[in-house]
Copies of this chain bind each other. A is one copy, B any other.
Amino acid sequence: MRPETDPPSRDDATGGAGESPAPTLLTDLYQLTMLQAYLERGMEAPAVFEFFVRQLPERRSFLIAAGLEQLLDYLETLRFSPRELGWMESTARFSPDFLRRLERFRFTGDVDAIPEGTVCFAEQPIVRITAPLPEAQFIESRLINLLHFETLIASKAARCVLAAGGRTLVDFGLRRAHGAEAGALAARAAYLAGFHGTATVEAGRRFGIPLFGTMAHSFVQAHRSELDAFRHFVDCFPGDNTLLIDTYDTLQGARTVVALAQELRPSGKRLRAVRIDSGDLAQAARDVRAILDQGGCGDVGIFVSGNLDESAIADLVVRRVPVDGFGVGTRLDVSADAPTLDVVYKLQEYAGRATRKRSAGKATWPGRKQVERHRDAQGVMTGDAVVLEEEPHCGERLLRPVMRSGRRVAPSPTLTVAREHARRELASLPPPLRSLESRAAFTVDISSRIRELAVAVDTA
């Protein structure tokens, strides 16, 4: 099984604006009511909001930032359609003045962000928005919706990448992903984090991600025999074919593959790989490898799937099971062991005045922040500091300007470039953070200037 599309001709595709954007009304009602309140009172001074993760899940030692591209697309194209405004009017809940102002409502603010593919941690601003308060507030729901999901999936996928030791990893999760957008964006996030491709065709078309595919059990069942099904498939796709051998009996399926390979030899057609999707994958892969090798099919690869996640992959790799690739579906596309991150988007400053909430267990640090990263001589990350943007430099700064006055400051990195960045990031993780089993500590200092500001805000 290998990519069934050629390397993307448009590999600079970022799935940009105009790709059936979500409706602007895909937001929480309170964004509209607050927007009306702000506009009516003229509360339009600059506000600074930061998106960050309060705490990592139990089994995550780091995150991979993702989703920024989709956020920038959203911000650049944000507007209320006449149809949406007509519906709002029909509810009689909003003032006519407000609806008129929404006709011209655009995002005109600035975005500073940690690049996609960067390793990041809790308490670090991943995206910072600086814009007139009504704009900065209104975008909250969709901003979180996009950044949360792709960061969640990229972080899960990165764990699979660490486990797989260079073997092929393919996203198979569309069917049990949570809806259409989740299916497409999970494929993107997984590829960004180091997967080799996806089965989701739309993700191939939209993002230029290599596509992989095999066959369904129903294909085998619809034919009179397994051999007939395999022969038919290879006839149609002589150059690339992965045969699913576990519909009835996996070892018998492997023997059928050997028989077909012998039958095909004179024609020059070849079989690329077999796929095993059930049973004890380790035992089945070993037995199938032996049958294939004894039958002169040493060049036919073995691809496995079925409830895989990073732990199952690591187990097969550590046991040196002869597996060439993994199809990872459900557990990747919903990040099954941790299906959400504790992400928030919080007001840090309004009209030049720093602010924070102090809710029990949910207090935040005030002010406009930056993340500094420190590394050893080999480039391995040694610790981060969260500082105020205005503090003097003393390390690599992670947040970079990506949008000014509502426009990207430069063309975005291609997905290929972002994926290469993620690869280097994973390579520079401290070894304890590469463990899959429990959360390893990484030092993230909060600067004394931020702590002082918090005290000043509370006593103001």
What is A's interface to B at a CB cutoff of 8 Å? 4-6, 9, 20, 22-23, 25-30, 32-34, 36-38, 40-41, 43, 47, 49, 84, 87, 90-93, 133, 137, 140-142, 144-146, 148-149, 152, 172, 174-186, 199-202, 204-205, 211-219, 221-222, 232-233, 236-237, 246-250, 277-280, 330, 334-336, 339-341, 343, 346-347, 350, 355-362
Contacts and interface: CB of A to CB of B under 8 A. Distances in A.
A29 B199 contact: yes
Contacts of A279: 359-361
25 contacts: A6-B91, A26-B174, A26-B200, A26-B201, A28-B175, A30-B199, A30-B216, A32-B201, A33-B213, A33-B233, A37-B236, A38-B222, A141-B175, A144-B175, A149-B179, A178-B181, A222-B350, A248-B358, A249-B358, A278-B359, A278-B360, A334-B334, A334-B340, A335-B339, A339-B339
Given A47-B222, A142-B180, A145-B183, 5 more contacts: A9-B90, A33-B233, A33-B236, A278-B362, A335-B339
A218 B49 contact: yes
B29 A87 contact: no
Contact of A236 (B36, B90, B176, B181): B36
Contact of A233 (B27, B37, B183): B37
Nearest to A147: B175
Contacts of A357: 217, 221, 247-248
Given A221-B356, A358-B248, A180 B22 contact: yes
Contact of A174 (B34, B37, B141, B232): B141
Nearest to A223: B43
A201 B37 contact: no
B37 A232 contact: yes
A222 B38 CA distance: 10
A179 B185 contact: yes
Contacts of A334: 178, 334, 339-340
- Number of copies of this chain that the complex holds: 2
Given A201-B27, A357-B247, A340 B176 contact: yes
- Pairs of residues from A and B, 9 with the lowest C-beta to C-beta distance, nearest first: A29-B213, A179-B181, A279-B360, A178-B178, A218-B347, A22-B180, A278-B359, A178-B182, A144-B175
Nearest to A457: B221
B25 A202 contact: yes
Contact of A87 (B172, B205, B232, B362): B205
Contacts of A148: 175-176
A429 to B, nearest CB: 26
Contact of A359 (B23, B217, B218): B217
A355 to B, nearest CB: 4
A347 B217 contact: yes
Nearest to A198: B29
A339 B250 CA distance: 30
**Residue from A26, A184, A205, A236 having most chain B Cβ neighbours under 10 A:** A26
A183 B183 CA distance: 14
A63 B109 CA distance: 45
Contacts of A201: 25-29, 32
A221 B355 contact: yes
A177 B175 contact: no
A395 to B, nearest CB: 30
Contacts of A362: 277-278
